[in-house]
Structure 1
Amino acid sequence: MRSFAVSLLILPLFFFLSFGLKSVLDVDLLGLIVFKMELHDPDGKLSSWNVDDETPCGWTGVKCDNNTNYVTDLSLDGFSLSGKIGKGLLRLPSLQRLSLTNNDISGTLPVGVVNLDSLISVDLSSNVITGVIPDGFLDNCGKLRELSLANNGLSGGIPESMGLGSCSSLEVLNLSGNKLSGPIPAGFWGLTGLRELDLSNNAFSGVIPVGLGKLFNLKSLILKRNAFAGSLPDDIGQNLLFNRIDLSGNSFQGGIPESVRNLSRCVFFNLGNNSLTGELPAWISELRNLQTLDLSGNGLNGSIPDSLGKLKLLQSVDFSRNKFAGILPESMSTCNSLKNVSFSQNAFTGGLPKWTFALGLQQFVASGNHLDGNLEIPTSSINLTLRLLQLSGNAFFGAIPMSIKNLQHLQLLDLSQNSFSGPIPVSIGEMKALQVLDLSVNQLNGSIPSDIGGATSLKQLILGENYLSGSIPTQLKDCSSLAILILSWNKLSGSLQPNIGNLAKLQIVDISHNNLSGPLPEQLSKLARMVSFNISSNRFSGDLPSGNFFHSIPISSLSDNPSLCGSLINVSCPSVPPEPIVLNPKSSSTVNSTIASNFHQKKIILSISAVISIAAAAVIALGVIVITVLNFQVRTSANALEFAGDYFSRSPGTDTNSGKLVMLTDDDP
């Protein structure tokens, strides 16, 4: 009896739990179906979402809790979905992670989605969501730790209330790649739990408000490519956990705040492309974990402090486009991790530091300075890992050393706009990885070495404005990847060889202002990718080849070639008499001798015929005179007269062709 009573008590509880659980599951399923109804699914990625299913836990992109079967994760990344985010998501009370990145979802931000009590992470990046960030958007974000709205079309400013609510749990906020504008509101620093903040690639302006130092947990601050102005915030050094700071591409002014010296954990520090002034402080070496230092595109001056050599972990440094002067510091020889260095567009003097080819660098750029001296490259290839060497726009002189070949990994070599002299070293042909070679605007002489064809990876060959002579080497045909060929303003001679047609990837050719001559090869018409072709100021001759690009290039690119002709330049080509037809080339000599013999015999026969014809005409004329006299004498005799009349009636004189001579001369065939 007692067990029956207990059963009566438990049975209603069982039914309550069963139906209660099913109702929750139905809410999840129906919520997802409602969410799907407002989306367009061109690839059928959501075809498994069926309203007749008992649970959505097996649906594509859906994950559930193993114990409760509630929906906890919804990840539909890159499904090509369009439409808008509907209110169906509000019916997923246990949802923790929502990711819809890399779709074409539009509309405005769904109010309330980020306020779901269980949400931890929301990623709506890389869609086409527009409109403004609603006021109070993060006022009640509960457990939300990560929010990304990056790469959409959001506009307007950050709401004044953002950061003033109960959202202390938010650790990652990414609003980059939108159209957001205006200043950062002071209350924004109320998001004290932030570890990563990315507002880059927007149109934010104004000064950075005081209070950045309150974000004690902040490790990454990315504000690049905005319109922020004023001085760098003095309290930036209070965030001792900073490991990444990128404020590049703004309009910050003044110097580098001294508080920055406290950021000993900082690994990445980029202040490039601002309007900063002053000198690089010696205490920069206190950022002992620094791996990347970018101060490019500012107005910094003075010399590079020797203390920079203490940054043992430094991998990349960019001081380009400033007003730095002095010599390149030898102290950097102790930066054993260094890979990429740029000193370009400054006022540095002296020669290259010894560590240039000793540290295992990959890129060394020092263009646009006042560096001079000889280019000295070690004869050993140990540690010569350079892939890019740019020294253009300096005052280097002397010959380019044969040891250049030891830079076997080099892909780009730019020594243009210097005072290098002598020949191009033949050893360049041994640089199999070389893709770009620019030796233009120097004093190089001699011929272009045929060995250059050995550099089979070449894509750009730029040798203009030197004193090079001789012909264009035919071995260039082996550089099948060549896209740019510039040999202008030299003393090159000879013709343009037909094998240029083998360079199918050619796009730009400039061989103007040389002494090249001869006809343009028809093979040029095969170069379908050509967009610029300049042969002006040479001695090319003959008709222009028919080709695709000849109809699109300006006439000036063909000018100053007096013997060049064709309709494209409105110059008529001289007519050429047709060649004689020879049916049997092997017997041409026999035919020629036979024709000459026959022609000689014909001349003799025609001469004899002419003499006979003249003599016959004279005899006929004499006969006519005699008959006329006789006729006059016997006119009285009727018989004689009748006879004479009959005679004349039968004479050739009655023939209509009588007296006509066909004169044959030596000129007649």
Structure 2
Amino acid sequence: MVRFQFLRSHLCLLVSVSCVLIGCLGDNEIAAQLNDDVLGLIVFKSDLYDPSAHLDSWNEDDGSACSWRFVQCNPVTGKVSEVSLDGLGLSGKIGKGLEKLQHLKVLSLSHNNLTGSISPSLSLSNTLQSLNLSHNSLSGSIPSSFVNMDSMKSLDLSENSFSGQVPESMFQNCSSLHHLSLARNMFEGSIPSTITRCSLLNSLDLSKNRFGGSVDFSGIWSLTRLRTLDLSNNALSGNLPLGVSAIHNLKEILLQGNHFSGPLPSDIGLCLHLNRLDFSNNMFSEALPKSLGRLNFLNSFKASNNFLTNEIPEWIGKMASLEYLDLSGNQLTGKIPDSISDLRSLSYLGLSDNKLVGNIPSSLVSCTKLSSIHLRGNGFNGSIPEGLFGIESLEVVDLSRNGLKGEIPAEIIHAFKLKYLNLSWNDFNSQMPPELGMLQNLTVLDLLSNSLYGSIPEDLCDSGNLAILQLDGNSLNGAIPDEIGNCTSLYLLSLCHNNLSGSIPKSVSKLKELKVLKLEFNELSGEIPQELGLLQNLLAVNISYNRLTGRLPSGSIFQNLDESSLEGNFGLCSPLLKGPCKMDVPKPLVLDPNAYNNQMGRPRNESSMGTSGITRRHRFLSVSVIIAISAAFLILLGVIAISLLNASVRRRLTFVDNALESMCSSSSRSGSPPTGKLILFDSGRSSLDSISNPENLLNKASEIGDGVFGTVHKVPLGSQGRMVAIKRLVTSNIVQYPEDFDREVRILGKARHPNLIALKGYYWTPQLQLLVAEYAPNGSLQSKLHDRLPSSPPLSWADRFKILLGTAKGLAHLHHSFRPPIIHYNLKPSNILLDENNNPKISDFGLARLLTKLERHVMSNRFQSALGYVAPELACQSLRVNEKCDIYGFGVMILEVVTGRRPVEYGEDNVVILKDHVRVMLEQGNVLECVDPSMSEYPEDEVLPVLKLALVCTSQIPSSRPSMAEVVQILQVIKTPVPHRMEMF
């Protein structure tokens, strides 16, 4: 390397004196001592790092480069014509030494680690015909003078980090170009219109960039020699006009992942040589063009996630060569036509998430090469057609979220290649077929939310290959079979919301790969096997709402479970749970007094062990038992007596307390709490000094916020000037009686959690109602996201994640620790307050309890400021307020926290719905572009699953949203530093 650097520093001197040498030496001597090819390649090599010494044969002392490895010369002229250094692990930059290769025709540097930008002054030989720089890490823009397109036939710059706009002038003269690939870079702006001048172009690949705007398709249709057109995964828009039929040789059109709209061109079926079409993830609408039926050679047709309408046409069966058909995520209606049976080569069928109805046609079994069937999320009814599982090539079957009935057919045993089976969210009112255990390749079995009954088959895990087993939400009963331990590949086991009984089998401890264990809402009893603490890969556990007792296993995740994962078990021993725990330990035995004699060294003769000795011991044991029982009885009588005395005292104290209140209260209703006084919960029912004029506390200067339930003021309270937040409630629709107000506020006051603003008390008169709450000194999440001063640093990812996890824990406490649950109703960033360490505290939770009634117009008026946060079932259906509304709002809040954008943004000519925008970007593979740019650093392996969780929480279907307890567990899994973290979405 030192030698190269020395040589490089002197090359300019050698070049500058070359003219002198020409005057002194003959032609042969010049060729021997100064060869431009050698000089240029040595300079080029000096800019590279060659860790494997592939270029050791390149020696500056050689008179010619023709004998060097990876170099080819023209046999007539002896000049270098080709340099191919593909996949040699080279790093460094592309230097100007290549300019010396004036006869170069082929330059290929692909699959290396080259970095840096291309110098604007670098100009390669006019003779260059093929340039391949793909699969490197080159960056910056492309200089327009970098290559001479007059002679260029193939240009491949794909898989780099080039950015900026592609200059229009680059393709002014490209009449020789056959192949052009700029794929997988970061080019932006419009596609250069001059590309349409490349009349001999066979392949055009501009995929996975940031090109935007409309496309001159009329010009592209004029490229009559084009065979492959790939504009996928950009931000291109506009319609596809007629004229595509002019490209007679076209074989592939790939436009997926853009914003194209309008109908598909009706003449596309005239491109008879087409074998691959991909229009997925766009906004195409209307019906499929009839001319598609003429494409007899088409083997792959994808148009998923668009807005295609009408029925699937009968002529679909004419596409005889079709192997891959995906029309999922559209608005197709009607039935699957019987002509589907004519697609004898079909291996993939995707019709999920449409509006299809009727039975799954039995003619589908004629497609004997099917390996994947996806019919999720339609309105299919009836039973699974006979013979469907007789298709031996089946590997993936997803019939979830339909209305299928009947039984899971026993013929499933014939689908011996089956790897993935999802029949969830149907109505199979049957037992689980034991044949499932004979599917040796099955790795995912999802039968969630059916009407399955009976026991779990013992041989379900005979293959040992199951990785995901979900049987949630059925009516399964009996014990969890010990044979569950044979599922040694399981990493998700979910049996929650069934009627399973008995104990948790110890064999679960054999599941060394297990990461998620969900057993909540069953009737499991007994102690949790301590062996489960040996499961080191376990990341999430929920055993709530069973009849489990005793201590939790030590080790693993069990000692870190939160309350929501344990609650509902009144015998578990945990500081997080209230009530006594039950330990399954042996009771103490009554000891033989003679044993003490032995221990004290008093010998006994053998006669003492005769019949009389046994009788004496029995008599002693009986007396001991009688004494123990008598003592227990006396203790019990004492406890009862004390309890009765306490009850009597409490009744008398209550009587005195009520009597005093009735004397001092101005309310006309008996037993009403005092009015016109500040009631603090921490001080019992006593009050501080009477507030004669509370308006003085609530002046404009003290106001710090304004919400849908009233204004908030920062007020010093008491002699020590302790800061509290006082909310002055609007009086409209608020409960009018003090005892009702007192009861509801006290319920909210009991909701104490580190991530909830503590409600400390209240003030009530018929004209004025105040709530006294904890004061959070660091403002709201809203101010941190959208009202931040330029001098204030943005929230880091660590703080944002902490805020999301804390908020989730607070909501989980409200949802799962109270019966009925406390619903927030109005979750949004302005109601998430932050303490001095940016720990989140939820405010305004459950205040709708103070409304006289939850009428629809009242709710809409209350929450009109929470734009984008209202769950669709509140806006579009009859009012059904439950926990799922909060979960929807939490999902929207995740998106707002991660992206830094508001849920709904209004442009000059459009409206951007944040959750829809993120969903589209995720489907296009560009979702990380949505992340708030103010965060300079963030871990992609955390941000991506958090965004996916947000989209699950904002599902249109309430039942598809997880519970807040599940959300907490998922967030904890995402944050867990495990190298092989399980994919949750």
Q: TM-score, normalised by structure 2?
A: 0.56
Does the CA contact (< 8 Å) of 1:379 and 1:406 recur in 2? Answer: no
When residues 591 and 343 of structure 1 are mapped into structure 2, their CA distance, relative to the original with a 3 A threshold, is farther
1:200 to 196, 207, 210: 207
The answer for the alignment partner of 1:341 in structure 2 is: 349
Say if 2:563 and 2:577, in contact at 8 Å, map to a contact too.
yes
Provide the rounded CA distance (Å) in 1 between the counterparts of 2:74 and 2:541: 66
Structure 1 match to 2:981: none
User: Which amino acid letter does the alignment assign opposite residue 82 of structure 1?
Assistant: S
1:109 aligned to which of 109, 115, 118: 118
5 Å matches for 1:245-256?
A: 245-256=253-264
Q: SS where residue 284 of structure 1 aligns?
A: helix
Does 2:263 match 1:241? no
Give the aligned residue type for 1:363.
S
Letter paired with 1:185? P
Of 166, 169, 189 in structure 1, the residue corresponding to residue 196 of structure 2 is 189
Question: Are residues 1:72 and 2:81 paired?
Answer: yes
8 Å Cα contact 2:99-2:123 kept in structure 1: no
Quote how far apart the aligned CAs of 1:388 are: 0.7
Return the offset for 1:84. Answer: 1.1
Deviation at 1:443, TM superposition (A): 0.3
Higher helix share: 2
**Deviation larger for 442-451 or 50-59:** 50-59
CA distance in 1, matches of 2:322, 2:429: 36
Q: CA deviation at 1:551?
A: 4.3
The separation in 2 between residues aligned to 1:172 and 1:556, in whole angstroms, is: 59
Give the whole-Å Cα distance in 2 for the aligned partners of 1:402 and 1:162.
Answer: 64
Query: Which residue is equivalent to 2:93?
Result: 84
C-alpha distance in structure 1 between counterparts of 2:614 and 2:171, whole Å: 113
Size of the aligned set, in residue pairs, is 581
Q: How much does 1:53 deviate?
A: 3.9
C-alpha distance in 1, partners of 2:547/2:67? 77
Distance verdict in 2 for CA 1:295–1:591, change over 3 Å: farther
- Determine which of 96, 119, 123 is the counterpart of 2:132: 123
Shift of 1:321: 0.4
Q: What residue is the counterpart of 1:213 in the other structure?
A: 221
Counterpart secondary structure, 1:368: coil
Q: Give how far 1:566 is off.
A: 3.7
1:372 partner amino acid: N
The match for 2:185 is: 178
Tell me if 1:232 matches 2:240: yes
TM-superposed deviation, 1:23: 5.9
In 2: Cα distance, 1:280 partner to 1:379 partner: 27
Distance 1:136 1:562, change over 3 A: same
1:513 aligned partner: 521
CA drift of 1:113 comes to: 6.4
Matched, 1:284 2:292: yes
Aligned amino acid, residue 265 of structure 1: H
The equivalent residue for 1:481 is: 489
Q: Matches of 2:260 and 2:389 in 1, distance apart?
A: 46
Question: Partners of 2:104 and 2:561 in 1: how far apart?
Answer: 62
Distance 1:121 1:574, change over 3 A: same
> Given that residues 389 and 415 in structure 2 are in contact (C-alpha distance below 8 angstroms), is that contact kept between their aligned partners in structure 1?
no
Q: Distance in 2 between matches of 1:242 and 1:48?
A: 45
Q: Is the 8 A contact 1:173 1:197 kept in 2?
A: yes
**Separation in structure 2 between the aligned mates of residue 570 and residue 78 of structure 1, nearest angstrom:** 64
Deviates more, 1:204-213 or 1:218-227: 204-213
Pairing partner for 1:365 from 374, 382, 389: 374
Asked if structure 1 preserves the Cα contact closer than 8 Å seen for 2:423 and 2:446, the reply is: yes
Alignment of 1:17-32 (within 5 A): 18-19=28-29, 21-22=31-32, 26-32=35-41
Provide Cα deviations, 1:11-53, integer angstroms capped at 9, x if missing partner: xxxx9664465467x3222211100111223343333433234
Q: Is contact 1:107–1:128 with CA below 8 Å preserved after alignment?
A: yes
User: Secondary structure of the equivalent of 1:419?
Assistant: coil
Cα displacement string for residues 420-473 of structure 1 (whole angstroms, at most 9, x for unaligned residues): 011000111111111111111100000001121223221111110000001111
- For the residue of structure 1 that corresponds to 2:321, the secondary structure is coil
The farther-off stretch of 70-79 and 226-235 is 70-79
**1:560 aligned partner:** 568
Q: CA deviation at 1:567?
A: 5.2
Q: Distance in 1 between matches of 2:389 and 2:581?
A: 58
Number of the residue aligned with 2:51: 42
Please name the residue that 2:438 is paired with: 430
Task: Give the Å deviation of 1:122.
Answer: 1.2
Report the AA paired with residue 205 of structure 2: D
Shift of 1:67: 5.6
Is 1:411 the counterpart of 2:411? The answer is no
Q: For residue 838 of structure 2, what is the aligned residue in structure 1?
A: none
Match of 2:858 in 1: none
The residue aligned with 1:310 is 318
- Counterpart Cα distance in 2 of 1:591 and 1:562: 53
DSSP-derived class of the 2:332 partner: strand
1:527 aligned residue: 535
Structure 1, 111-120 or 528-537: larger mean CA deviation: 111-120
Q: Distance in 2 between matches of 1:600 and 1:456?
A: 60
RMSD: 3.1
Q: What SS does structure 2 have at the residue aligned with 1:129?
A: strand
Structure 2 gap segments, 5+ residues each: 1-24, 621-985
Tell me the CA shift for residue 170 of structure 1: 1.1
Structure 1: unaligned runs, 5 residues or longer: 1-14, 605-669
Q: Counterpart in 1 of 2:794?
A: none
1:293 pairs with 2:301: yes
Q: Is the 8 A contact 1:480 1:503 kept in 2?
A: yes
Counterpart-to-counterpart distance in 2, 1:344 and 1:169? 45
Q: 1:23 to 1:93 in 2, by over 3 A?
A: farther
Please give the secondary structure, in 1, of the residue aligned with 2:501: strand
The 5-angstrom pairing of residues 495-506 of structure 1 reads: 495-506=503-514
Q: CA deviation at 1:318?
A: 0.5
Contact 1:114/1:122, CA 8 A, preserved across alignment: no
1:161 CA displacement: 1.5
Given that 1:63 and 1:71 are in contact with CA atoms closer than 8 Å, whether structure 2 keeps it comes out as: yes
Distance in 1 (CA, whole Å) between partners of 2:388 and 2:333 is: 30
TM-score, normalised with respect to structure 1 = 0.81
State whether residues 400 and 423 of structure 2, in contact with CA within 8 Å, keep that contact through their aligned partners in structure 1.
yes
Asked whether 1:544 is paired with 2:555, we answer no
Given the alignment, which residue of 380, 400, 404 partners 1:392? 400
The 5 A counterparts of 1:258-269 are 258-269=266-277
Name which of structure 1's ranges 272-281 and 74-83 shifts more when overlaid on structure 2. Answer: 74-83
SS at match of 2:159: coil
Measured in 1, the distance between the counterparts of 2:546 and 2:105 equals: 73
Identity of aligned residues (%): 35
Q: Which residue number in structure 1 is paired with residue 230 of structure 2? A: 222
SS in 1 for 2:428: strand
CA distance in 2, matches of 1:89, 1:247: 37
Evaluate the alpha carbon distance shift between residue 519 and residue 68 of structure 1 in structure 2; reply closer, same or farther with a 3 A threshold.
Answer: farther
Q: Tell me the secondary structure at the aligned position of residue 170 of structure 2.
A: coil
Q: Could you say if the C-alpha distance between residues 289 and 519 of structure 1 is closer, same or farther in structure 2, counting changes exceeding 3 Å?
A: same
Structure 1 distance, partners of 2:555, 2:56, is: 53
Q: Using a 3 Å threshold, how does the CA distance of structure 1 residues 149 and 423 change in structure 2: closer, same or farther?
A: same
Partner Cα separation in structure 1 for residue 73 and residue 463 of structure 2? 59
Distance 1:480 1:426, change over 3 A: same
User: Structure 2 CA distance, aligned partners of 1:251 and 1:96?
Assistant: 39
Deviation at 1:517, TM superposition (A): 1.2
Instruction: Quote the residue 2:684 is aligned against.
Output: none
Q: Does the CA-based 8 Å contact 2:352-2:376 persist in structure 1?
A: yes
